[in-house]
Amino acid sequence: MIRVLLADDQALVRAGFRSLLNSEDDITVVGEVSDGAEAVVVARREKPDVVLMDIRMPGTDGLEATRRIGADPELSGVHVVILTTFDLDEYVFEALRVGASGFLVKDTEPVELLQAVRVVARGDALLSPGVTRRLVAEFASRSRQPYASKELDVLTEREKEIVALVGEGLSNDEIAQRLVLSPATAKTHVSRAMIKLGVRDRAQLVVLAYQTGLVRPGWLG
């Protein structure tokens, strides 16, 4: 059973999500909150698999709540999905950087929301290749120059190559095709890179690839 926490200051939005999610045999809503501080408290108590987190809430917003959840080792199994009205919300990139596993716009179709919850619950990042290219390239192009870092020194050359392809938005299957590997081998390389770099999921791996200059926005056209 996938356990979900809803964090949104609009009661009607929460009611709609709750009704949809609870109608599924494999998903249950374990809590509802209206601000970020409550979200952190309930996340620590309930240890949900997924938090659907509104980015803009009064008081403690979704960004700060995501940062607190991402920084808590006891909540390493909690995956945050950011909810936003606009798909290029200025806070989304920062939310991914501090630990969110992906984002959804609020007018997402019900079937896509359900799929998103299941994808994130099993530990995958909710970043399609197209979204990755648009979102990260957009914000990375506005941000400061890549910082000098020795973080990537722990990776083999093949792992750096694979992280760069993750940063470009390629799936494991696409990486396998590009490098003439099996999908399982590509997935293993991605997993090892995540462990070595100490990142929670694929979303953070994408952000790190940009921040360190391994991938540059201009390369994506």
Tens-place pLDDT, residues 158-174? 999 999 998 877 888 88
CB burial of residue 145 (10 Å; 0-12, 13-18, 19+): exposed
pLDDT of amino acid 36: 94
Decide if 187 is inside a domain.
Answer: yes
Decide if 134 is inside a domain.
Answer: no
Tens-place pLDDT, residues 11-37? 999 999 999 999 999 999 999 999 999
Cβ atoms within 10 A of the Cβ of 77, count? 11
Q: What is the CATH number of the domain that holds 81?
A: 3.40.50.2300
The tally of domains found in the chain comes to 2
155 lies in the same domain as 90: no
Tens-place pLDDT, residues 72-116? 989 988 999 988 876 555 677 777 777 888 888 888 889 988 988
Average pLDDT across the chain, whole number? 84
Tens-place pLDDT, residues 38-64? 999 999 999 999 999 998 888 898 999
| Average pLDDT estimate for 189-218 | 81
Decide if 138 is inside a domain.
Answer: no
Q: How confident is the model at residue 220 (pLDDT cuts 50, 70, 90)?
A: very low
Residue 1 has pLDDT above 60, yes or no: yes
pLDDT of amino acid 49: 96
Q: How confident is the model at residue 221 (pLDDT cuts 50, 70, 90)?
A: very low
Residue 208 and residue 168 in contact, taking contact as beta carbons nearer than 8 Å? no
Decide if 21 is inside a domain.
Answer: yes
Task: Give the range of the structural domain holding residue 170, as residue numbers without chain letter.
Answer: 147-212
* Residue ending a domain, choose from 96, 126, 156: 126
Whole-angstrom distance, CA of residue 92 vs CA of residue 63: 8
Whole-angstrom distance, CA of residue 50 vs CA of residue 196: 24
84 sits in which H/E element:
strand 79-84
19 lies in the same domain as 89: yes
Decide if 141 is inside a domain.
Answer: no
Which residues are bridge partners to 80 per DSSP? 51
Residue 155 has pLDDT above 80, yes or no: yes
pLDDT of amino acid 193: 94
121 lies in the same domain as 151: no
Decide if 139 is inside a domain.
Answer: no
113 lies in the same domain as 26: yes
159 lies in the same domain as 116: no
107 lies in the same domain as 165: no
153 lies in the same domain as 103: no
179 lies in the same domain as 111: no
pLDDT of amino acid 8: 95
* Residue ending a domain, choose from 92, 126, 160: 126
96 lies in the same domain as 169: no
Decide if 162 is inside a domain.
Answer: yes
Decide if 92 is inside a domain.
Answer: yes
